[in-house]
Amino acid sequence: MAVRNRHQEQIGEYSIVSKTENHPLHSSDQEVWKRFVQGDELAFAHIYRLNVNLLVNFGRQFTNDHELVKDVIQDLFIRLRHPNTSQKVVKIKSFLFKCFYRDLIKRMDREKTFDDAFQQDSFAITMSPEHTLINQQLDCLKRHHLSESIEKLSVRQKQALLLFYYEDFSYKEIASILDMKSVKSARKLVYRAISKLRSVINPTFLKVISIILLIYPFGT
Amino acid sequence: MNYTDYEVQDFLKDESFVAWVKRNDPDLNDFWEKWLANNPEKAAILEEAAQIIRSTHYDSVHQLTSQEYIMLYENVLRKSDLNYNKEERRKTVPIGLIAAASIILSVLVLVGIWRSPGLNERKSVVVYESVIKEKKTSNGQKLSFKLPDGTKVILNAASTISYSVPFMRENREVKLEGEAFFDVVEDRKKPFTVITSNFSATVLGTSFNVFAYQNETEHTLSLLTGKVKVESPYASNDGPQILEPGHQIKFDIESNNFSRQTFNPQLITGWKDGIITFKDADFAKVISTLERWYGVEIAIINENKMKERQFSGTFEKKSLEHVLQVLSFSGGFSFSIKDKAVIIEFSD
């Protein structure tokens, strides 16, 4: 059974194999960052390629203002390229997300970009089926129930689930990106979201439902 | 902690498990493959949790176009070079010289769309570098924001607004394509002007709605408070038009004529609160409104069987399906919605 999808193409991953020795693609985040700080243009190109669209997409969940999102990303990269930059960076993606989130919120505050209608459906999640599925256990009905209960989550909870499952951040990284007091707060956020989905994902729940349907097939 | 007692929701909370599903990490692979081999009865639970993790996606995905991707990269390189050079210079050249040099080097960017009448007289020595800012919405989107002077703008779907920064030098000018609602901050010294493809409107401090989509034949300005002066180089009417609150001015693109009437505020500005109102609207107007509002494309089958009729109705934050359901009764059509494609079919 293939639980892991080995050929999954993940934009945010750094483990892409390259044949050239000493190529940034070959190195860890810390090494890439070190080269970037030393002024290696190849390292910057690498960081830009892997992250710019992830940041655009993340930013556009907060606002419809595409130009503003682009502006904030541009300013962030310019700032990081400044010769005095000396931050220690362990994971580039979460470092960029953290800086970007902080900058974007500041700019939206200053330019008073607000949109109440938009806020409600920001960070919408879709449970899209995978293409490479071998045995589809998550049947249509369940997927439908799951989507329905996900819609009822708070924006913050949806945000946390996307950062955890889609962006592949750890609890520690989520806490740092979203400026939370402690790792515990990030954990709590995800836990609460999952317990709201529990009635749907709990297998016994569905079994009970199907037994009821078997006994009372016509709802009498 | 004991993984053998874990249910789906417990695995969903587990960092190591989530990381294994998402990444191809040799250490995690080693552990979880061994664990799975030892607990084959847990395979179904593991699979379900993994599927939930892998099917979680953003509902709307936004990317840069390849042109934007290139531009952003180039901007970053160019501007960080500038910053770097500035730093260097500061160390060696006296500040007075830098100031003088930067005044001489500053370039006045003149852009054709700012049809400023007094341009030729304005040969002052002090020049500014101005940048054009643009705010844009696609079909199905709305955007509200404040201009640098504090004026509140709500931009309807498929619309673009542009203005130059710094914004408040002499006039406050914005260029609009599409529809927007303006609540203008009063500044008697600096009039506020909205320029559309057919007319320009100048105000001091008011709130009004401008409807100027390129594919529509009637462009309107509807005034809620204050006073507006509307001008058009194309209009056959004489001189600028002064509008009083509660009145609407309509520019007919075919006859190049301004006409005035009163208007129902909800009908005109309801869109900013999520309300669609049709009043005696023809079918084409209904279709173009719905396409913009919901970001869909509507195809019509058997248009020749459509009876000439007008549509009225108010919909507050309703789904497209609901709106079409209601309209289909009076319109005598059936419809189907598949993602962003809508088919409307008329029958006898």
- Which residues are CB-contacts of B307 (< 8 A; sequence separation ≥ 6)? B332
Give me the count of residues in chain B: 348
Residue B85 and residue B12 share a domain: yes
Whether A170 and B15 lie within 8 Å, measured CB to CB:
yes
pLDDT over threshold 60, residue B334: yes
What distance in Å separates the CA atoms of residue B45 and residue B11, rounded to the nearest whole number?
A: 9
What distance in Å separates the CA atoms of residue B165 and residue B180, rounded to the nearest whole number?
A: 20
How distant is the alpha carbon of residue A168 from its chain centre? 6
Tell me the chain A residues in contact with residue B3 when contact means C-beta distances shorter than 8 Å: none
Residue B81 CA neighbour count, 13 Å, CB half: 7
Pairing of strands B311-316, B257-262: unpaired
Share of residues in chain B with pLDDT > 90 (%): 24
Q: Is residue B1 part of a domain?
A: no
More confident residue, B114 or A53: A53
Residue B152 and residue B259 share a domain: yes
Closest CA to A127 of A35, A29, A37, A200: A200
DSSP-based three-state secondary structure for B165: strand
3-state per-residue secondary structure call for chain A: CCCCCCCCCCCCCCCCCCCCCCCHHHCCHHHHHHHHHCCCHHHHHHHHHHHHHHHHHHHHCCCCCHHHHHHHHHHHHHHHHCCCCCCCCCCHHHHHHHHHHHHHHHHHHHCCCCCHHHHHCCCCEEECCCCCCCCCCCCHHHHHHHHHHHHCCCHHHHHHHHHHHHCCCCHHHHHHHCCCCCHHHHHHHHHHHHHHHHHHHCHHHHHHHHHHHHHCCCCC
Q: Is residue B108 part of a domain?
A: yes
Residue B152 and residue B109 share a domain: no
Q: What part of A 66-95 touches B (C-beta under 8 Å)?
A: 66-67, 70, 73-74, 77-78, 81-83
Tell me the chain B residues in contact with residue A146 when contact means C-beta distances shorter than 8 Å: 52
Whether A15 and B24 lie within 8 Å, measured CB to CB:
yes
Asked if A166 has any chain B CB less than 8 Å from its own CB, the reply is yes
- Shortest CA gap B303–chain A (Å): 35
Tally the domains of chain B. 3
Domain housing B308: 274-346
Tokens for B260? 């005035």
Mean pLDDT of B257-273: 88
- Which residues are CB-contacts of A43 (< 8 A; sequence separation ≥ 6)? A24, A32, A33, A35, A36
Residue B74 and residue B164 share a domain: no
Q: Is residue B304 part of a domain?
A: yes
Contact B224, B245 (CB under 8 A): yes
Tell me the chain A residues in contact with residue B41 when contact means C-beta distances shorter than 8 Å: none
Pairing of strands B192-195, B207-212: unpaired
Asked if B28 has any chain A CB less than 8 Å from its own CB, the reply is no
More confident residue, A86 or B207: B207
Mean pLDDT of B248-255: 88
What distance in Å separates the CA atoms of residue A153 and residue A196, rounded to the nearest whole number?
A: 8
B271-316 pLDDT, tens digit per residue, is: 888 888 888 888 888 999 999 888 889 999 888 887 777 888 888 8
Q: Is residue B96 part of a domain?
A: yes
Residue B278 and residue B261 share a domain: no
What distance in Å separates the CA atoms of residue B179 and residue B159, rounded to the nearest whole number?
A: 6
Contact B257, B237 (CB under 8 A): yes
Looking up tokens 């509002």 gives B293
**Across all residues in chain A, what is the average pLDDT?**
76
pLDDT over threshold 80, residue A171: yes
What distance in Å separates the CA atoms of residue B46 and residue B338, rounded to the nearest whole number?
A: 34
Tell me the chain B residues in contact with residue A83 when contact means C-beta distances shorter than 8 Å: 84, 87
Looking up tokens 């009163």 gives B262
Of B110, B129, B148, which marks where a domain is finished?
A: B129
pLDDT of residue B138: 86
Closest CA to B289 of B271, B309, B269, B266: B271
**Across all residues in chain B, what is the average pLDDT?**
82
What distance in Å separates the CA atoms of residue A203 and residue B6, rounded to the nearest whole number?
A: 12
DSSP-based three-state secondary structure for B123: coil
The answer to whether the peptide bond before residue B166 is cis (omega within 30 degrees of 0) is: yes
Kindly report the pTM of this predicted structure: 0.60
List the single residue in A1, A56, A113 with the smallest CB-CB distance to B62.
Answer: A56
Mean pLDDT of B58-66: 88
Asked if B68 has any chain A CB less than 8 Å from its own CB, the reply is yes
pLDDT over threshold 70, residue A130: no
Of B250, B267, B284, which marks where a domain is finished?
A: B267
Mean pLDDT of B224-228: 89
Mean pLDDT of A119-139: 60
pLDDT of residue A138: 57
List the single residue in B32, B53, B135 with the smallest CB-CB distance to A65.
Answer: B135
Whether A124 and B58 lie within 8 Å, measured CB to CB:
yes
Query: What CATH number is attached to the domain comprising B154?
Result: 2.60.120.1440
Output the CA–CA distances (angstroms, integers) from residue B347 to B328, B335, B344, in the order listed: 11, 11, 10
DSSP string, B317-334: S--HHHHHHHHHHHHTEE
Whether A67 and B9 lie within 8 Å, measured CB to CB:
no
Mean pLDDT of B174-202: 90
Contact A98, A177 (CB under 8 A): yes
What distance in Å separates the CA atoms of residue B9 and residue A162, rounded to the nearest whole number?
A: 16
Q: Is residue B3 part of a domain?
A: no
Whether B51 and A130 lie within 8 Å, measured CB to CB:
yes
pLDDT class for A139, splitting at 50, 70, 90?
low
Residue B252 and residue B183 share a domain: yes
Looking up tokens 């740092």 gives A176
Residue B43 and residue B104 share a domain: yes
pLDDT of residue B306: 79
Residue type, B230: V
Q: Is residue B152 part of a domain?
A: yes
Tell me the chain A residues in contact with residue B36 when contact means C-beta distances shorter than 8 Å: 1, 3
Output the CA–CA distances (angstroms, integers) from residue B276 to A23, B134, B177, B268, B293, in the order listed: 56, 26, 20, 9, 9
Residue B184 and residue B307 share a domain: no
Q: Is residue B231 part of a domain?
A: yes
Q: Is residue B300 part of a domain?
A: yes
Pairing of strands B192-195, B200-203: antiparallel
Of B78, B104, B129, which marks where a domain is finished?
A: B129
Q: What is the largest CA-CA distance in chain B?
A: 89
pLDDT class for A39, splitting at 50, 70, 90?
confident
Residue B262 and residue B286 share a domain: no
Residue B190 and residue B97 share a domain: no
The contacts found for B20-28 with CB under 8 angstroms, 24 or more apart, are B20/A4, B21/A3, B21/A4, B21/B49, B21/B50, B21/B53, B21/B54, B22/A8, B22/A10, B22/A165, B22/A168, B22/B53, B23/A10, B23/A13, B23/A15, B23/A168, B24/A4, B24/A6, B24/A8, B24/A13, B24/A15
DSSP-based three-state secondary structure for B214: coil
Residue B286 and residue B211 share a domain: no
DSSP H stretches of helix in chain B: 8-13, 15-22, 26-38, 43-55, 66-92, 95-105, 265-269, 283-294, 320-331
Sign of CA pseudo-dihedral B113, B118, B121, B127: negative
Residue B244 and residue B119 share a domain: no
Query: What CATH number is attached to the domain comprising B321?
Result: 3.55.50.30
